[in-house]
Amino acid sequence: MKNIILIVLILVVTLSFGQTEKAENKVITEKFVDNYNNDDHDGIFSMFADVMKDALPIDKTTEFLKGLKSQAGNISNHKFIKYENGTYASYKTTFERTVFILNISIDDNSKINGLFVKPFLEEVNTENVINHLTIKNGLMSKEQSEIIFESTKKFPNNTQISIAIINNGEVYYYGMNKENDTISTIENQKSVFEIGSISKVFTSTLLANFVIDGKVKLNGNINDYLKTPLKNRIKISFTDLANHTSGLPRLPSNLDLAKVKPENPYIEYKEKEMKEYLTKYLELSNKGEYQYSNLGVGLLGYTLSTIENVTYETLLQNKIFSKYDMQNSTADITKIKGDLVRGLNNEGKEVPNWEFSVLAGAGAIFSTVEDLSQFTISQFDYSHKELKLTRVKTFELNENMDIGLGWHILKSQSKNLWYWHNGGTGGYSSSMVIDEKSKNGIIILSNVSAFNPNMGNIDNLCFELMKTLEKE
């Protein structure tokens, strides 16, 4: 639910009502909102000043707007707050699935010369939140316990978080929940959560299995394996899909986010729609560049399932879950065995689970920190050739990050490589990082919505806990 061309600044917004919205800002913003809700990307682009058009060409503008729509939905309300830096008119903007601050700057010709979006963060009173977290002697340090409390105290009541800490190959679990503004320790390592985009690591692991078994080659063209030929015989390799360099958009163009059920946006996008996209609407942009794509990894899972003529769920069970003793993991919501933790929205109210249908490879898996620990510890055993293959660098994103197959590869302060992925759905957020050299890892599953403005705390918690292991 991330990685779109969206300037996200994690700031607390202090409301100020002492300023009056200028008439020209009001007109431009209302026109922007109308065009946005109607998916009129050309209309929005025509509102840009030349400097904006140069900075955000029409293809990038369209990508940005589609990405924003996929995350947040349509705009239902916007309210002027203040002017920032004397230029940006700042609006508290209510979308279908979240609340953002929309900042718009216009020039003397009433053309947009600045536009960015950031989370709206209301001040959360945490003074009354009680810390009842216990410290497990020999397992949990006071520092780690304090990090967990500080990272979770702003989440709504009914929040539940499950943590696995793997230190030199040894795993221990730590669970917490928040009820009545009290954060307490619980046992929940067997509780089931949606893991969202961490599923992409498993889809890439399936690919690695196919490669090791000689069924496909990483540079092989997926068109050679699909029964549905790609439009214009476009060539896309397996690696392209696994490392987000295929040129495919975040979501297929025939998945109309304005018409889907916001509480379950992927459920009606099935094989028929996928085939229609591949044959009629398929287009690539910026091929060879990193462009995070749920469609791409969903297509990867679909292609591998087609090759074997079995479901994505069957592939997972046969090739990964059974091998690594992941007894409570599944991509089929009807087959969940353990205690399913219900996902929450921003207000702490339960929301339905997402069902990914044909795009299952992008984010359909349910799992536990106990199961994911089994998978993590297996990463330290070099005899598992398919796991080792997923960690091989396939693309250099920047000086601080590379991409493997599924994994994002980070350079830690200790100069070790961290293999990381996170996930987010309507009711859940997750984060997972592994250091195979030191045999350390952190796994965090939660029922914090990806649209919660404080959801970044899940990743921060993951990395901060990982840093404590490097000190040891």
Residues 156-174: pLDDT tens digits?
999 999 999 999 999 999 9
Query: Is 347 part of a structural domain of the chain?
Result: yes
**16 CB-contact burial (10 Å; exposed 0-12 / middle 13-18 / buried 19+):** exposed
User: How does pLDDT run across 220-262, given as a tens digit for each residue?
Assistant: 999 999 988 899 999 999 999 999 999 999 999 998 776 778 7
Whether the full predicted model's pTM is greater than 0.95, yes or no, is no
Residue pair 69/258 in contact (Cβ under 8 Å)? The answer is yes
Query: Is 415 part of a structural domain of the chain?
Result: yes
Same domain, 109 and 230: no
CA 362 to chain centre: 10
Query: Is 272 part of a structural domain of the chain?
Result: yes
Same domain, 243 and 342: yes
Amino acid at 148: I
CATH of the domain at 92: 3.10.450.50
Q: How many domains does the chain have?
A: 2
Pick from 83, 101, 119: which residue ends a domain? 119
Token representation of residue 401:
């990050």
Q: 179 - beta bridge partners?
A: 182
Same domain, 447 and 299: yes
Mark 298-315 as b/e (b = at least 16 C-beta within 10 Å).
bbbbbbbbebeeeebbeb
Expressed as residue numbers, the domain containing 464 is 193-471
Same domain, 244 and 326: yes
Q: Which region among 92-106, 159-173, 308-322 has the lowest average model confidence (pLDDT)?
A: 92-106
| pLDDT value for 243 | 97
Same domain, 208 and 113: no
Token representation of residue 114:
């600045």
Query: Is 143 part of a structural domain of the chain?
Result: no
Same domain, 75 and 208: no
Same domain, 108 and 199: no
Pick from 92, 119, 146: which residue ends a domain? 119
pLDDT band at residue 124 using 50, 70 and 90 as cut-offs: low
Query: Is 10 part of a structural domain of the chain?
Result: no
CATH of the domain at 325: 3.40.710.10
Pick from 68, 97, 119: which residue ends a domain? 119
With CA atoms as reference, report the closest residue to 32 among 121, 118, 93, 122.
Answer: 93
